[in-house]
Protein backbone atom coordinates (compact mmCIF):
# COMPACT_ATOMS: atom_id res chain seq x y z
CA UNK A 1 0.00 0.00 0.00
CA UNK A 2 2.84 2.32 0.92
CA UNK A 3 4.51 1.79 -2.46
CA UNK A 4 1.24 2.39 -4.25
CA UNK A 5 0.69 5.71 -2.39
CA UNK A 6 4.21 6.86 -3.24
CA UNK A 7 3.62 6.21 -6.93
CA UNK A 8 0.36 8.20 -6.83
CA UNK A 9 2.13 11.16 -5.25
CA UNK A 10 4.84 11.03 -7.89
CA UNK A 11 2.22 10.95 -10.64
CA UNK A 12 0.38 13.88 -9.08
CA UNK A 13 3.62 15.87 -8.75
CA UNK A 14 4.52 15.04 -12.33
CA UNK A 15 1.11 16.16 -13.53
CA UNK A 16 1.45 19.40 -11.55
CA UNK A 17 4.89 20.05 -13.03
CA UNK A 18 3.66 19.26 -16.53
CA UNK A 19 0.66 21.51 -15.99
CA UNK A 20 2.94 24.30 -14.76
CA UNK A 21 5.21 23.91 -17.75
CA UNK A 22 2.14 23.90 -19.95
CA UNK A 23 0.91 27.18 -18.46
CA UNK A 24 4.35 28.73 -18.87
CA UNK A 25 4.62 27.54 -22.45
CA UNK A 26 1.11 28.79 -23.19
CA UNK A 27 1.96 32.18 -21.67
CA UNK A 28 5.16 32.38 -23.64
CA UNK A 29 3.32 31.52 -26.82
CA UNK A 30 0.72 34.15 -26.02
CA UNK A 31 3.31 36.85 -25.35
CA UNK A 32 5.62 36.01 -28.23
CA UNK A 33 3.04 35.15 -30.86
CA UNK A 34 -0.47 36.31 -30.09
CA UNK A 35 0.40 39.55 -28.24
CA UNK A 36 3.81 40.20 -29.74
CA UNK A 37 2.75 43.14 -31.90
CA UNK A 38 0.83 44.90 -29.13
CA UNK A 39 3.58 44.43 -26.55
CA UNK A 40 6.26 45.59 -28.96
CA UNK A 41 4.29 48.76 -29.63
CA UNK A 42 3.82 49.30 -25.88
CA UNK A 43 7.55 48.88 -25.28
CA UNK A 44 8.26 51.32 -28.04
CA UNK A 45 5.94 53.88 -26.49
CA UNK A 46 7.69 53.45 -23.14
CA UNK A 47 11.24 53.78 -24.46
CA UNK A 48 10.85 55.81 -27.65
CA UNK A 49 9.15 59.04 -28.71
CA UNK A 50 8.57 60.15 -32.27
CA UNK A 51 8.81 63.93 -32.81
CA UNK A 52 8.02 65.76 -36.04
CA UNK A 53 10.89 68.02 -37.06
CA UNK A 54 11.12 70.23 -40.12
CA UNK A 55 14.15 71.03 -42.21
CA UNK A 56 15.42 74.63 -42.38
CA UNK A 57 13.31 77.11 -44.35
CA UNK A 58 14.87 78.36 -47.53
CA UNK A 59 16.89 81.56 -47.52
CA UNK A 60 15.49 84.79 -49.02
CA UNK A 61 17.96 87.13 -50.73
CA UNK A 62 17.75 90.43 -52.59
CA UNK A 63 18.57 90.85 -56.28
CA UNK A 64 22.29 90.90 -55.51
CA UNK A 65 22.25 87.86 -53.24
CA UNK A 66 22.27 89.74 -49.93
CA UNK A 67 20.55 87.67 -47.25
CA UNK A 68 17.22 89.06 -46.02
CA UNK A 69 15.82 85.99 -44.23
CA UNK A 70 17.61 82.87 -43.00
CA UNK A 71 17.42 80.05 -40.47
CA UNK A 72 19.40 79.65 -37.25
CA UNK A 73 19.73 76.38 -35.32
CA UNK A 74 18.50 77.07 -31.80
CA UNK A 75 17.64 74.83 -28.81
CA UNK A 76 14.14 73.60 -27.99
CA UNK A 77 13.53 72.02 -24.56
CA UNK A 78 11.29 69.07 -23.72
CA UNK A 79 10.55 67.00 -20.65
CA UNK A 80 9.61 63.40 -19.84
CA UNK A 81 7.11 63.83 -16.98
CA UNK A 82 6.73 60.07 -16.33
CA UNK A 83 10.39 59.81 -15.24
CA UNK A 84 10.49 62.76 -12.86
CA UNK A 85 10.74 62.18 -9.09
CA UNK A 86 9.73 65.74 -8.20
CA UNK A 87 8.03 67.86 -10.89
CA UNK A 88 7.98 70.79 -8.45
CA UNK A 89 11.75 70.69 -7.88
CA UNK A 90 12.43 70.30 -11.60
CA UNK A 91 10.14 73.22 -12.45
CA UNK A 92 11.99 75.45 -9.96
CA UNK A 93 15.33 74.52 -11.52
CA UNK A 94 14.10 75.30 -15.03
CA UNK A 95 12.23 78.52 -14.22
CA UNK A 96 15.53 80.35 -13.71
CA UNK A 97 16.52 79.59 -17.31
CA UNK A 98 13.40 79.15 -19.41
CA UNK A 99 11.08 82.05 -20.36
CA UNK A 100 8.11 80.14 -18.90
CA UNK A 101 6.26 80.84 -15.65
CA UNK A 102 6.90 78.47 -12.74
CA UNK A 103 3.28 77.33 -12.39
CA UNK A 104 3.03 76.66 -16.12
CA UNK A 105 6.21 74.57 -16.07
CA UNK A 106 4.99 72.55 -13.11
CA UNK A 107 1.63 71.97 -14.77
CA UNK A 108 3.35 70.57 -17.87
CA UNK A 109 5.71 68.37 -15.85
CA UNK A 110 2.86 66.84 -13.82
CA UNK A 111 1.16 65.43 -16.91
CA UNK A 112 1.06 61.65 -17.28
CA UNK A 113 2.92 61.78 -20.57
CA UNK A 114 6.22 60.51 -21.92
CA UNK A 115 6.98 63.72 -23.86
CA UNK A 116 6.03 67.39 -23.53
CA UNK A 117 7.50 70.54 -25.07
CA UNK A 118 8.57 73.04 -22.39
CA UNK A 119 9.99 75.86 -24.54
CA UNK A 120 10.58 76.13 -28.27
CA UNK A 121 13.33 77.89 -30.21
CA UNK A 122 15.23 79.59 -27.40
CA UNK A 123 18.21 81.90 -27.66
CA UNK A 124 21.53 79.98 -27.82
CA UNK A 125 22.61 81.43 -24.46
CA UNK A 126 19.50 79.98 -22.78
CA UNK A 127 20.41 76.59 -24.23
CA UNK A 128 23.94 76.83 -22.81
CA UNK A 129 22.61 77.74 -19.36
CA UNK A 130 20.27 74.75 -19.49
CA UNK A 131 23.17 72.44 -20.36
CA UNK A 132 25.03 73.64 -17.28
CA UNK A 133 22.01 72.75 -15.09
CA UNK A 134 22.01 69.11 -16.33
CA UNK A 135 18.49 68.32 -15.15
CA UNK A 136 17.40 64.66 -15.26
CA UNK A 137 14.32 63.98 -17.39
CA UNK A 138 14.88 67.13 -19.45
CA UNK A 139 16.28 67.10 -22.98
CA UNK A 140 17.19 69.45 -25.81
CA UNK A 141 16.88 69.16 -29.59
CA UNK A 142 17.99 71.74 -32.14
CA UNK A 143 15.34 73.38 -34.32
CA UNK A 144 15.44 76.07 -36.96
CA UNK A 145 14.28 79.58 -36.02
CA UNK A 146 13.68 82.25 -38.64
CA UNK A 147 16.07 85.19 -38.44
CA UNK A 148 15.93 88.48 -40.32
CA UNK A 149 19.45 89.95 -40.27
CA UNK A 150 18.32 93.38 -41.50
CA UNK A 151 15.75 93.81 -38.74
CA UNK A 152 12.77 95.88 -39.85
CA UNK A 153 14.08 96.40 -43.40
CA UNK A 154 11.50 95.14 -45.92
CA UNK A 155 9.45 93.60 -43.10
CA UNK A 156 6.04 94.16 -44.75
CA UNK A 157 7.19 92.40 -47.92
CA UNK A 158 9.10 89.55 -46.27
CA UNK A 159 6.45 88.93 -43.61
CA UNK A 160 7.51 86.38 -40.99
CA UNK A 161 7.30 82.73 -39.97
CA UNK A 162 5.63 81.49 -36.79
CA UNK A 163 6.92 79.23 -34.01
CA UNK A 164 6.16 76.09 -36.02
CA UNK A 165 8.11 77.41 -38.99
CA UNK A 166 5.07 78.23 -41.12
CA UNK A 167 5.03 81.46 -43.13
CA UNK A 168 2.31 83.76 -41.78
CA UNK A 169 2.67 86.99 -43.76
CA UNK A 170 4.27 88.41 -46.90
CA UNK A 171 6.63 86.44 -49.11
CA UNK A 172 7.06 83.92 -46.28
CA UNK A 173 3.35 83.06 -46.58
CA UNK A 174 2.89 83.45 -50.35
CA UNK A 175 5.83 81.12 -51.13
CA UNK A 176 5.34 78.74 -48.20
CA UNK A 177 5.31 75.65 -50.43
CA UNK A 178 8.79 76.54 -51.76
CA UNK A 179 10.38 77.87 -48.57
CA UNK A 180 9.35 75.23 -46.04
CA UNK A 181 11.81 72.46 -45.31
CA UNK A 182 11.13 68.76 -45.57
CA UNK A 183 9.19 67.32 -42.64
CA UNK A 184 10.72 64.25 -41.05
CA UNK A 185 9.93 62.17 -37.98
CA UNK A 186 12.81 61.88 -35.49
CA UNK A 187 12.73 58.90 -33.12
CA UNK A 188 14.01 59.81 -29.66
CA UNK A 189 15.10 57.05 -27.25
CA UNK A 190 15.91 57.05 -23.53
CA UNK A 191 17.94 54.64 -21.43
CA UNK A 192 16.56 52.33 -18.71
CA UNK A 193 16.79 55.07 -16.07
CA UNK A 194 15.16 57.63 -18.34
CA UNK A 195 18.02 60.07 -17.92
CA UNK A 196 18.97 60.80 -21.50
CA UNK A 197 17.16 61.23 -24.76
CA UNK A 198 18.94 61.06 -28.09
CA UNK A 199 18.25 60.27 -31.75
CA UNK A 200 17.78 56.56 -32.27
CA UNK A 201 20.20 56.68 -35.15
CA UNK A 202 22.94 59.27 -34.91
CA UNK A 203 23.60 58.82 -38.61
CA UNK A 204 19.99 59.58 -39.49
CA UNK A 205 19.73 62.04 -42.39
CA UNK A 206 18.64 65.54 -41.41
CA UNK A 207 15.47 66.94 -43.05
CA UNK A 208 16.16 68.69 -46.37
CA UNK A 209 16.13 72.48 -46.52
CA UNK A 210 13.54 74.54 -48.37
CA UNK A 211 14.23 76.39 -51.62
CA UNK A 212 15.98 79.74 -51.89
CA UNK A 213 14.08 82.79 -53.17
CA UNK A 214 15.75 85.70 -54.95
CA UNK A 215 13.76 88.92 -54.89
CA UNK A 216 13.63 91.78 -57.37
CA UNK A 217 14.10 94.07 -54.37
CA UNK A 218 17.39 95.93 -54.11
CA UNK A 219 18.46 96.19 -50.47
CA UNK A 220 20.07 99.60 -51.00
CA UNK A 221 17.06 101.06 -52.81
CA UNK A 222 14.83 99.65 -50.06
CA UNK A 223 16.97 101.25 -47.38
CA UNK A 224 16.85 104.65 -49.10
CA UNK A 225 13.07 104.43 -49.51
CA UNK A 226 12.46 103.44 -45.88
CA UNK A 227 14.82 106.08 -44.50
CA UNK A 228 13.27 108.95 -46.45
CA UNK A 229 9.70 107.79 -45.85
CA UNK A 230 10.20 107.43 -42.10
CA UNK A 231 11.74 110.90 -41.89
CA UNK A 232 8.84 112.44 -43.81
CA UNK A 233 6.14 110.69 -41.78
CA UNK A 234 7.83 111.74 -38.56
CA UNK A 235 8.32 115.35 -39.62
CA UNK A 236 4.70 115.66 -40.82
CA UNK A 237 3.44 113.89 -37.67
CA UNK A 238 1.46 111.74 -40.08
CA UNK A 239 -0.49 108.59 -39.37
CA UNK A 240 1.35 106.43 -41.90
CA UNK A 241 2.98 106.35 -45.32
CA UNK A 242 4.15 104.13 -48.13
CA UNK A 243 6.56 104.12 -51.06
CA UNK A 244 6.71 101.73 -54.01
CA UNK A 245 9.51 101.83 -56.58
CA UNK A 246 9.09 99.86 -59.83
CA UNK A 247 11.12 99.21 -62.93
CA UNK A 248 8.45 100.32 -65.45
CA UNK A 249 9.91 98.24 -68.27
CA UNK A 250 9.65 94.92 -66.42
CA UNK A 251 7.27 95.46 -63.50
CA UNK A 252 9.99 94.36 -61.04
CA UNK A 253 9.55 95.91 -57.60
CA UNK A 254 12.81 97.52 -56.47
CA UNK A 255 11.49 98.77 -53.13
CA UNK A 256 8.27 98.68 -51.12
CA UNK A 257 8.34 100.64 -47.88
CA UNK A 258 5.56 101.05 -45.30
CA UNK A 259 5.52 103.20 -42.19
CA UNK A 260 5.14 102.42 -39.28
CA UNK A 261 7.59 99.56 -39.63
CA UNK A 262 8.05 96.48 -37.42
CA UNK A 263 10.83 94.03 -36.58
CA UNK A 264 9.91 90.44 -37.56
CA UNK A 265 12.57 89.16 -35.12
CA UNK A 266 10.51 90.46 -32.20
CA UNK A 267 7.19 88.72 -32.76
CA UNK A 268 5.99 89.17 -29.19
CA UNK A 269 6.21 92.95 -29.54
CA UNK A 270 4.29 93.14 -32.81
CA UNK A 271 1.17 95.25 -33.01
CA UNK A 272 -1.50 93.77 -35.22
CA UNK A 273 -2.28 97.05 -36.97
CA UNK A 274 1.35 97.46 -38.05
CA UNK A 275 1.59 94.15 -39.90
CA UNK A 276 -0.56 95.06 -42.88
CA UNK A 277 1.25 95.90 -46.10
CA UNK A 278 -0.86 98.98 -46.89
CA UNK A 279 1.03 99.49 -50.16
CA UNK A 280 -1.01 96.63 -51.62
CA UNK A 281 -3.99 96.21 -49.27
CA UNK A 282 -5.51 99.61 -48.50
CA UNK A 283 -7.61 101.65 -50.89
CA UNK A 284 -7.57 105.44 -50.79
CA UNK A 285 -9.10 108.21 -52.89
CA UNK A 286 -6.28 109.21 -55.25
CA UNK A 287 -7.33 112.80 -55.75
CA UNK A 288 -5.54 114.68 -58.51
CA UNK A 289 -3.11 111.88 -59.43
CA UNK A 290 -6.09 110.35 -61.27
CA UNK A 291 -6.03 113.32 -63.66
CA UNK A 292 -3.02 111.82 -65.44
CA UNK A 293 -5.13 108.78 -66.38
CA UNK A 294 -8.01 111.01 -67.49
CA UNK A 295 -5.59 112.98 -69.64
CA UNK A 296 -4.28 109.80 -71.25
CA UNK A 297 -7.81 108.58 -72.02
CA UNK A 298 -8.87 111.95 -73.45
CA UNK A 299 -5.84 112.27 -75.71
CA UNK A 300 -6.08 108.64 -76.86
CA UNK A 301 -9.75 109.13 -77.77
CA UNK A 302 -9.12 112.44 -79.53
CA UNK A 303 -11.31 114.32 -77.05
CA UNK A 304 -8.44 116.60 -76.05
CA UNK A 305 -5.04 117.68 -77.29
CA UNK A 306 -2.39 119.33 -75.13
CA UNK A 307 -3.11 122.67 -76.79
CA UNK A 308 -6.92 122.41 -76.60
CA UNK A 309 -8.31 125.41 -74.72
CA UNK A 310 -10.53 124.76 -71.70
CA UNK A 311 -12.48 127.41 -69.79
CA UNK A 312 -11.83 127.24 -66.03
CA UNK A 313 -15.11 128.94 -65.06
CA UNK A 314 -13.09 131.25 -62.80
CA UNK A 315 -12.80 128.54 -60.18
CA UNK A 316 -16.45 127.60 -59.65
CA UNK A 317 -18.76 125.27 -61.61
CA UNK A 318 -22.09 123.62 -60.81
CA UNK A 319 -22.57 119.94 -61.65
CA UNK A 320 -25.68 117.97 -60.64
CA UNK A 321 -26.73 120.65 -58.14
CA UNK A 322 -23.30 120.56 -56.46
CA UNK A 323 -20.43 123.02 -56.78
CA UNK A 324 -16.94 122.06 -57.93
CA UNK A 325 -14.21 124.44 -56.79
CA UNK A 326 -10.67 125.09 -57.95
CA UNK A 327 -7.88 126.37 -55.73
CA UNK A 328 -7.09 128.87 -58.48
CA UNK A 329 -9.58 131.02 -60.41
CA UNK A 330 -8.69 130.04 -63.96
CA UNK A 331 -10.10 131.44 -67.16
CA UNK A 332 -9.10 130.02 -70.54
CA UNK A 333 -6.15 127.62 -70.24
CA UNK A 334 -4.69 124.87 -72.38
CA UNK A 335 -5.51 121.27 -71.58
CA UNK A 336 -1.84 120.75 -70.64
CA UNK A 337 -2.24 123.56 -68.07
CA UNK A 338 -5.41 121.92 -66.73
CA UNK A 339 -3.26 118.99 -65.63
CA UNK A 340 -0.23 121.01 -64.64
CA UNK A 341 -2.29 123.40 -62.49
CA UNK A 342 -4.43 120.47 -61.26
CA UNK A 343 -7.75 122.06 -62.18
CA UNK A 344 -10.73 120.11 -60.82
CA UNK A 345 -13.08 121.92 -63.18
CA UNK A 346 -10.90 121.17 -66.20
CA UNK A 347 -10.64 117.50 -65.22
CA UNK A 348 -14.42 117.27 -64.67
CA UNK A 349 -15.08 118.80 -68.10
CA UNK A 350 -12.61 116.34 -69.65
CA UNK A 351 -14.32 113.38 -68.02
CA UNK A 352 -17.75 114.55 -69.13
CA UNK A 353 -16.45 114.98 -72.68
CA UNK A 354 -15.20 111.37 -72.56
CA UNK A 355 -18.51 110.10 -71.18
CA UNK A 356 -19.20 107.38 -68.66
CA UNK A 357 -18.74 104.42 -70.99
CA UNK A 358 -15.29 105.38 -72.21
CA UNK A 359 -14.20 106.56 -68.78
CA UNK A 360 -15.19 103.20 -67.29
CA UNK A 361 -13.33 101.35 -70.03
CA UNK A 362 -10.07 103.23 -69.39
CA UNK A 363 -10.32 102.79 -65.63
CA UNK A 364 -10.43 99.07 -66.25
CA UNK A 365 -7.62 99.21 -68.82
CA UNK A 366 -5.33 101.01 -66.36
CA UNK A 367 -6.07 98.29 -63.80
CA UNK A 368 -8.33 100.02 -61.30
CA UNK A 369 -10.95 97.90 -59.55
CA UNK A 370 -8.90 94.73 -60.04
CA UNK A 371 -5.85 93.15 -58.47
CA UNK A 372 -2.50 93.71 -60.14
CA UNK A 373 -1.79 90.04 -59.29
CA UNK A 374 1.48 90.93 -57.61
CA UNK A 375 2.92 87.85 -55.90
CA UNK A 376 2.14 88.97 -52.35
CA UNK A 377 -0.80 87.90 -50.16
CA UNK A 378 -3.70 90.13 -49.18
CA UNK A 379 -3.81 92.43 -52.21
CA UNK A 380 -6.91 94.61 -52.32
CA UNK A 381 -9.02 95.36 -55.38
CA UNK A 382 -9.78 98.98 -54.54
CA UNK A 383 -13.23 100.39 -55.13
CA UNK A 384 -14.66 101.11 -58.56
CA UNK A 385 -18.44 101.09 -58.72
CA UNK A 386 -20.20 99.53 -61.66
CA UNK A 387 -21.01 102.20 -64.22
CA UNK A 388 -24.72 101.39 -63.94
CA UNK A 389 -24.68 102.56 -60.32
CA UNK A 390 -22.96 105.88 -61.01
CA UNK A 391 -24.79 109.02 -59.97
CA UNK A 392 -25.24 112.22 -61.96
CA UNK A 393 -21.97 113.66 -60.66
CA UNK A 394 -19.94 110.44 -60.73
CA UNK A 395 -18.16 111.09 -64.03
CA UNK A 396 -17.01 114.51 -62.82
CA UNK A 397 -16.05 113.22 -59.39
CA UNK A 398 -14.07 110.23 -60.65
CA UNK A 399 -12.21 112.49 -63.09
CA UNK A 400 -11.03 114.50 -60.07
CA UNK A 401 -10.04 111.35 -58.16
CA UNK A 402 -13.11 111.14 -55.94
CA UNK A 403 -15.76 108.37 -55.69
CA UNK A 404 -13.04 105.85 -56.46
CA UNK A 405 -10.65 103.86 -54.28
CA UNK A 406 -7.26 102.66 -55.52
CA UNK A 407 -4.32 100.90 -53.89
CA UNK A 408 -0.80 102.34 -54.10
CA UNK A 409 0.39 99.39 -56.20
CA UNK A 410 -2.47 99.97 -58.66
CA UNK A 411 -1.64 103.66 -59.04
CA UNK A 412 2.11 103.25 -59.46
CA UNK A 413 1.47 100.44 -61.98
CA UNK A 414 -0.81 102.77 -63.97
CA UNK A 415 1.93 105.44 -64.08
CA UNK A 416 4.46 102.76 -65.00
CA UNK A 417 2.29 102.02 -68.07
CA UNK A 418 2.60 105.69 -69.09
CA UNK A 419 6.36 105.43 -68.59
CA UNK A 420 6.52 102.20 -70.62
CA UNK A 421 5.01 103.73 -73.77
CA UNK A 422 1.50 102.65 -72.86
CA UNK A 423 2.20 98.99 -71.99
CA UNK A 424 1.08 97.71 -68.58
CA UNK A 425 3.39 95.16 -66.91
CA UNK A 426 2.54 92.79 -64.08
CA UNK A 427 4.39 93.81 -60.88
CA UNK A 428 6.32 91.07 -59.08
CA UNK A 429 8.78 90.64 -56.20
CA UNK A 430 10.29 87.14 -56.67
CA UNK A 431 12.61 86.68 -59.64
CA UNK A 432 14.21 83.27 -59.07
CA UNK A 433 13.72 80.06 -57.13
CA UNK A 434 16.67 77.72 -56.51
CA UNK A 435 16.97 74.49 -54.56
CA UNK A 436 19.17 74.13 -51.48
CA UNK A 437 22.14 73.19 -53.70
CA UNK A 438 21.79 76.32 -55.82
CA UNK A 439 20.25 74.69 -58.89
CA UNK A 440 17.84 76.98 -60.73
CA UNK A 441 14.25 75.72 -60.55
CA UNK A 442 12.34 78.72 -61.86
CA UNK A 443 13.11 82.14 -63.30
CA UNK A 444 10.29 84.69 -63.47
CA UNK A 445 10.15 86.61 -66.73
CA UNK A 446 8.53 90.06 -67.05
CA UNK A 447 4.89 89.66 -68.07
CA UNK A 448 2.97 92.05 -70.32
CA UNK A 449 -0.63 92.54 -69.19
CA UNK A 450 -1.99 94.75 -71.96
CA UNK A 451 -1.47 97.82 -74.08
CA UNK A 452 -3.47 100.65 -72.51
CA UNK A 453 -2.67 103.59 -74.79
CA UNK A 454 -0.53 104.19 -77.86
CA UNK A 455 3.16 105.16 -77.58
CA UNK A 456 2.31 108.56 -79.07
CA UNK A 457 -0.31 109.23 -76.38
CA UNK A 458 2.08 108.06 -73.66
CA UNK A 459 4.75 110.47 -74.88
CA UNK A 460 2.25 113.31 -75.07
CA UNK A 461 1.07 112.70 -71.49
CA UNK A 462 4.70 112.48 -70.35
CA UNK A 463 5.41 115.95 -71.74
CA UNK A 464 2.37 117.29 -69.88
CA UNK A 465 3.49 115.61 -66.64
CA UNK A 466 6.99 117.06 -67.04
CA UNK A 467 5.28 120.47 -66.94
CA UNK A 468 3.74 119.53 -63.58
CA UNK A 469 7.28 119.33 -62.18
CA UNK A 470 8.87 122.25 -64.03
CA UNK A 471 6.11 124.82 -63.57
CA UNK A 472 3.04 123.20 -61.98
CA UNK A 473 2.08 121.81 -58.59
CA UNK A 474 4.99 119.33 -58.37
CA UNK A 475 8.06 121.56 -58.58
CA UNK A 476 9.48 120.09 -55.36
CA UNK A 477 9.70 116.66 -57.05
CA UNK A 478 12.42 117.95 -59.40
CA UNK A 479 15.74 116.07 -59.47
CA UNK A 480 18.78 118.10 -60.62
CA UNK A 481 20.02 116.97 -64.00
CA UNK A 482 17.02 114.75 -64.79
CA UNK A 483 13.68 115.19 -66.49
CA UNK A 484 10.90 114.14 -64.11
CA UNK A 485 7.29 113.40 -65.05
CA UNK A 486 4.65 113.11 -62.36
CA UNK A 487 1.49 114.32 -60.66
CA UNK A 488 0.60 115.56 -57.21
CA UNK A 489 -2.46 114.46 -55.27
CA UNK A 490 -4.19 115.81 -52.17
CA UNK A 491 -7.38 113.98 -51.28
CA UNK A 492 -9.79 114.61 -48.43
CA UNK A 493 -10.70 111.54 -46.40
CA UNK A 494 -14.19 110.55 -45.34
CA UNK A 495 -14.92 111.34 -41.70
CA UNK A 496 -16.22 108.07 -40.16
CA UNK A 497 -18.59 110.02 -37.89
CA UNK A 498 -20.22 112.38 -40.41
CA UNK A 499 -19.65 110.20 -43.52
CA UNK A 500 -18.67 113.37 -45.34
CA UNK A 501 -15.34 114.69 -46.55
CA UNK A 502 -13.28 115.87 -43.60
CA UNK A 503 -11.70 119.31 -43.53
CA UNK A 504 -8.75 118.05 -41.48
CA UNK A 505 -8.00 114.49 -42.73
CA UNK A 506 -5.96 114.20 -45.94
CA UNK A 507 -3.93 111.75 -48.00
CA UNK A 508 -1.10 113.47 -49.85
CA UNK A 509 0.75 111.78 -52.68
CA UNK A 510 3.08 112.13 -55.64
CA UNK A 511 3.39 109.58 -58.45
CA UNK A 512 5.87 109.83 -61.28
CA UNK A 513 8.79 108.43 -63.24
CA UNK A 514 12.37 109.38 -64.07
CA UNK A 515 14.20 110.01 -66.36
CA UNK A 516 11.10 111.11 -68.25
CA UNK A 517 12.60 110.43 -71.69
CA UNK A 518 13.95 106.95 -70.81
CA UNK A 519 12.28 105.95 -67.54
CA UNK A 520 14.15 103.65 -65.16
CA UNK A 521 12.10 104.27 -62.02
CA UNK A 522 8.36 104.62 -61.47
CA UNK A 523 7.53 105.64 -57.91
CA UNK A 524 4.59 106.50 -55.67
CA UNK A 525 4.94 108.33 -52.35
CA UNK A 526 1.97 108.53 -49.97
CA UNK A 527 1.86 110.44 -46.70
CA UNK A 528 -1.40 109.63 -44.92
CA UNK A 529 -2.93 111.90 -42.28
CA UNK A 530 -0.40 114.73 -41.83
CA UNK A 531 -1.06 117.00 -38.86
CA UNK A 532 -0.87 120.22 -40.89
CA UNK A 533 -4.24 120.81 -42.59
CA UNK A 534 -2.51 122.95 -45.23
CA UNK A 535 -0.25 120.09 -46.34
CA UNK A 536 -0.45 118.89 -49.94
CA UNK A 537 1.06 116.32 -52.25
CA UNK A 538 3.31 119.04 -53.63
CA UNK A 539 4.63 120.10 -50.23
CA UNK A 540 4.93 116.68 -48.51
CA UNK A 541 5.12 113.78 -50.97
CA UNK A 542 6.93 115.47 -53.87
CA UNK A 543 10.14 116.23 -51.87
CA UNK A 544 10.30 112.58 -50.77
CA UNK A 545 10.07 111.50 -54.41
CA UNK A 546 12.92 113.87 -55.27
CA UNK A 547 15.16 112.72 -52.44
CA UNK A 548 14.65 109.00 -53.06
CA UNK A 549 14.93 109.38 -56.83
CA UNK A 550 18.16 111.36 -56.69
CA UNK A 551 19.88 108.85 -54.39
CA UNK A 552 18.66 105.78 -56.28
CA UNK A 553 19.64 107.13 -59.70
CA UNK A 554 23.11 107.88 -58.36
CA UNK A 555 23.36 104.40 -56.82
CA UNK A 556 22.28 102.72 -60.07
CA UNK A 557 24.76 104.78 -62.04
CA UNK A 558 22.11 106.37 -64.28
CA UNK A 559 23.64 109.39 -66.00
CA UNK A 560 21.56 112.51 -66.57
CA UNK A 561 23.35 113.11 -69.88
CA UNK A 562 23.26 109.57 -71.22
CA UNK A 563 21.00 107.20 -69.22
CA UNK A 564 22.23 103.62 -69.13
CA UNK A 565 20.21 100.44 -69.06
CA UNK A 566 20.16 98.90 -65.60
CA UNK A 567 19.12 95.25 -65.26
CA UNK A 568 16.52 95.22 -62.51
CA UNK A 569 14.35 92.21 -63.17
CA UNK A 570 16.62 89.25 -62.47
CA UNK A 571 19.44 89.04 -59.90
CA UNK A 572 22.71 87.43 -60.87
CA UNK A 573 23.39 85.00 -58.03
Q: How far apart are CA 166 and CA 179, in angstroms?
A: 9
CATH number of the domain encompassing residue 159: 3.90.1310.10
Q: How far apart are CA 193 and CA 244, in angstroms?
A: 61
Do 185 and 246 fall within a single domain? Answer: no
361 by DSSP, 3-state: which?
helix
pLDDT at 124: 76
Reported in sequence order, the residue ranges of 342-462 that DSSP labels E, i.e. its strands, are 423-425, 430-434, 440-443, 448-451
pLDDT at 82: 80
Do 209 and 233 fall within a single domain? Answer: no
529: phi then psi, degrees, rounded to nearest 5: 70, 45
The answer to whether residue 571 scores a pLDDT higher than 50 is: no
The catalytic position among 114, 209, 250, 288 is 288
User: Is-contact 564 536, C-beta < 8 A?
Assistant: no
> In what helix (H) or strand (E) does residue 67 lie, and over which residues does it extend?
strand 67-79
The answer to whether residue 496 scores a pLDDT higher than 80 is: no
In a domain, 39, yes or no: no
509 assigned to active site: no
How crowded is residue 103: how many other Cβ atoms within 10 Å of its Cβ? 10
In a domain, 378, yes or no: yes
Q: How far apart are CA 308 and CA 518, in angstroms?
A: 27
Do 209 and 226 fall within a single domain? Answer: no
CATH number of the domain encompassing residue 484: 3.40.710.10
Pairing mode, if any, of strands 309-311 and 332-334?
antiparallel
In a domain, 571, yes or no: no
How crowded is residue 31: how many other Cβ atoms within 10 Å of its Cβ? 12
Q: How far apart are CA 40 and CA 31, in angstroms?
A: 10
In a domain, 391, yes or no: yes
179: phi then psi, degrees, rounded to nearest 5: -80, -35
Mean pLDDT of 200-222: 79
CA-atom Rg of the chain in angstroms? 34
Q: Is the pTM of this model over 0.85?
A: no
Q: How far is CA 358 from the centre of its chain?
A: 35
Q: How far apart are CA 548 and CA 526, in angstroms?
A: 13
Q: How far apart are CA 485 and CA 515, in angstroms?
A: 8
The answer to whether residue 517 scores a pLDDT higher than 80 is: yes
Mean pLDDT of 364-387: 97
Q: Of 199, 215, 231, which one is at a domain's C-terminal end?
A: 215
Model pLDDT for residues 39-85, shown as the tens digit of each residue: 555 555 455 556 566 678 999 999 999 999 998 878 888 888 887 87
Do 182 and 235 fall within a single domain? Answer: no
Exposure of 431 in the CB half-sphere (CA atoms within 13 A): 23
Q: How far apart are CA 365 and CA 450, in angstroms?
A: 8
Do 411 and 514 fall within a single domain? Answer: yes
The answer to whether residue 38 scores a pLDDT higher than 80 is: no
> What is the DSSP-derived secondary structure letter of residue 189?
E
pLDDT at 23: 66
The answer to whether residue 152 scores a pLDDT higher than 90 is: yes
The answer to whether residue 385 scores a pLDDT higher than 80 is: yes
Domain of 340, in residue numbers? 219-261+279-556
The answer to whether residue 566 scores a pLDDT higher than 50 is: no
Amino acid sequence: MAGSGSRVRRYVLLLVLLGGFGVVLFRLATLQVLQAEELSARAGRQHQKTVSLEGPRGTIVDRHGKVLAMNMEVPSVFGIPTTLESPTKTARQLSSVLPVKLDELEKKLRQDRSFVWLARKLDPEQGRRLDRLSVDGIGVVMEGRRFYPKGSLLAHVLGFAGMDGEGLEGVEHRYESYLRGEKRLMVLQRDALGRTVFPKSLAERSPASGHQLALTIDEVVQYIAEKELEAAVSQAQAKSGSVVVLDPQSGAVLAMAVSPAFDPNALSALKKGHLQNTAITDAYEPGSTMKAMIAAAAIEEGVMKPATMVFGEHGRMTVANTVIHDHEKLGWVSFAEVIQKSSNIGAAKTGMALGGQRLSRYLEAFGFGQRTEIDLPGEGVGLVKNQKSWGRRSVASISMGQEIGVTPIQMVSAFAALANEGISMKPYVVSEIRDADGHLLKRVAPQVKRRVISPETARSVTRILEGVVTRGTGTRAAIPGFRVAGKTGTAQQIDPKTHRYSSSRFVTSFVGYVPADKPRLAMIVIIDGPKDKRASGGSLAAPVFSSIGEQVLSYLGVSSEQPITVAMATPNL
